Amino acid sequence: MTWWKGVLMNKLSFSALLAALLALGACSLAPEYRRPESPVAGEWPSGAAYIPDGPDFPQVADLKWRDFFTDAVLQKIIQQALDNNRDLRLAALNVERAQGMYGIQRGDLFPSFGANGGRTRQRRSADLIGAGEPRVATQYSVDLGFAAWELDFFGRIRSLSEQALEEYLATDEGRRGAQIALVSQVARTYFLLAADGENLALAQSTLDSQQAAYALIKRRFDVGMVSDLDLKRALVPVDTARAEVARYTQLAAQDLNALVLLAGAPVPEEWLPTGQQAAGVLKDVATGVSSEVLLLRPDVMAAEHRLRGAYASIGAARAALFPRISLTGTTGSASGELSRLFANGTSTWLFAPQFSLPIFDTRLWAALRVSETEREIVLTQYEKTVQTAFREVADALAVRGTIDELLAAQESLTATVADAYRLAEKRYNSGIESYLSVLDAQRSHFAAQQSLVTLRYAKLAAQIQLYAALGGGAE
């Protein structure tokens, strides 16, 4: 059929035109991106509070969270949190949304093809038609083409696409950062629940012993062996221990509530820690010599992606000051009779370029200044993110370098005050000391035991913090 040859020739010419336009390529007016100078020292801090990495310390990049948290029960809770935590789920959905937005923006680089077909009937004025022409005209048409496709000569659309891509990548890094935070929060809450449970058991044990001591002194008071003052003093540690039992009962309940929220579902009772059962041994991790390892943290990488996006935004704002050319083109067939729609000689085509040039529009210059200022804002945020990351690692390193000495001193102190407590009780029972010395020794002993539990938890929390601060926990 001759008509098909004509349409085919039109399509070939049409395709050749599009190929030529796409091959023109767009220049970019965005400033060249260069990674900013690091706003922190190149090496980790040193001094009395820090110790170097051991020769067998593994790198964080080689240590998955299941290898770092070796407790099987804790692994189950972390996995439950990864499967059910709503914050992590929202982070993943935000990534999907950002990916879709990037696809929409990138689609503007290419023409959108569509096919249209229609039938129109029109009654025309008798004064506007020639002799013998019908007043009612009918037309059938089929068209294939694109409308208002902007030729990206100055890179405006390409810059917007780059900005959307960087936002998508930043959002994905945000999801990785959310996973790191979730894993570390679950572990810290798990160990905190264990520590508060241990303190609760300690408070209950102290209450039981103080109630027994009070009962003994009460019997002595009843037979006139001790004074009323000693009886009142013996009641002080009883009430103190009762208050501590209530306090740690409350804290343990709140810890469990926090763990359930992080896990996203009720945690089976058999998974809950009991005292030092959850103490566990976490691995020490290597920090390396250079602080450049921070550049691989998800929050730092997200900040850098947003900085790259700010550079692309400047390119789009600059390109908006230059002319825009958009094209509309179709090819098809039209006829007054449906049976002749694809007959010879009914082929049609349309090519309609449009040109626009901003001559005086202060909004475009203001938008450029805004994009340049936005870049400085994002740059400052990037630098602050790096500084915050450096401080988090440095703080965790300071704890790692001093916590063992603190624990050793506290263990020695706890043993010493325990001996002093036993000696004070013995001297009181022998009538050498007043009960006030027993009360002071008991208070010191209880406080020393609580501090020891707190320091043990602090060591675990610092190891978790260092692992997370170096980017561990994301997969």
**Residue closest to 70 by CA, chosen among 54, 85, 58, 83:** 58
Two tokens, residue 225: 């062996």
How far is residue 21's CA from residue 45's CA, in Å, rounded to a whole number?
57
Q: How many C-beta atoms surround the C-beta of residue 59 within 10 A?
A: 14
The three-state secondary structure class of 301 is helix
Predicted local confidence at residue 299, as pLDDT: 94
> Coil, strand or helix: which one is 349?
strand
Host H or E run for residue 140: strand 136-151
> Would the CATH topology of 1-28+111-151+323-356 be identical to that of 31-109+153-322+365-469?
no
Reading the chain (475 residues) residue by residue, the pLDDT tens digits are: 444 444 444 444 545 555 554 555 557 788 999 999 999 998 999 899 998 888 888 888 888 999 999 888 999 999 999 999 999 999 999 999 999 998 988 888 888 888 888 888 888 887 778 777 888 888 888 888 878 888 888 888 899 999 999 999 999 999 999 999 999 999 999 999 999 999 999 999 999 988 988 888 888 888 888 888 888 888 888 899 999 999 999 999 999 999 999 999 999 999 998 765 555 567 788 888 788 889 889 999 999 999 999 999 999 999 888 888 888 888 888 887 777 777 787 888 888 888 888 888 899 999 999 999 999 999 999 999 999 999 999 999 999 999 999 999 999 999 999 999 899 888 888 878 777 888 888 889 999 999 999 999 999 999 999 999 999 888 7
For residue 19, what pLDDT is reported? Answer: 54
CA distance 220 to 435: 13
Residue pair 5/352 in contact (Cβ under 8 Å)? The answer is no
Answer CATH for 31-109+153-322+365-469 from 1.10.1070.11, 1.10.3720.10, 1.20.970.10, 1.20.1600.10: 1.20.1600.10
Instruction: Report pLDDT for 438.
Output: 82
What's the rounded Cα separation, in Å, for the pair 100 and 15? 28
8-state DSSP, 340: G
The C-alpha atoms of residue 320 and residue 354 are separated, in whole angstroms, by 16
Those residues whose C-beta lies under 8 Å from the C-beta of residue 7, and which sit 6 or more positions away, are: 331, 332, 333, 347
Residues in the chain: 475
Three-state SS at 286: strand
Nearest 10 degrees: Cα torsion 130, 131, 136, 139 = -60
Structural contact between residues 259 and 444, judged by C-beta atoms closer than 8 angstroms:
no
Q: How far apart are CA 358 and CA 370, in angstroms?
A: 18
Q: Please give the torsion angle defined by the CA atoms of residues 203, 204, 209 and 212, in that order, rounded to the nearest 10 degrees.
A: 130
Boundaries of every domain in the chain? 1-28+111-151+323-356, 31-109+153-322+365-469
Task: Compute the distance between CA of residue 411 and CA of residue 450 in angstroms, rounded to an integer.
Answer: 11
Contact indicator for 330, 149 with CB cutoff of 8 Å: no
Please tell me the predicted confidence (pLDDT) of residue 469.
Answer: 93
The answer to whether the CB of 202 falls within 8 A of the CB of 450 is yes
Beta-carbon contacts of 445 under 8 Å, excluding residues fewer than 6 positions away, are 414, 417, 418, 420, 421
Q: Output the CATH code of domain 1-28+111-151+323-356.
A: 2.20.200.10
Contact 347, 6 (CB under 8 A): yes
Q: Do the beta carbons of residue 171 and residue 303 sit within 8 Å? A: no
If one counts every other C-beta atom within 10 angstroms of the C-beta of residue 266, the result is 10
Encoded tokens for 131: 């002799």
In whole angstroms, give the CA distance from residue 69 to residue 410: 26
Can you spell out the DSSP letters for 417-461?
A: HHHHHHHHHHHHHTTSS-HHHHHHHHHHHHHHHHHHHHHHHHHHH
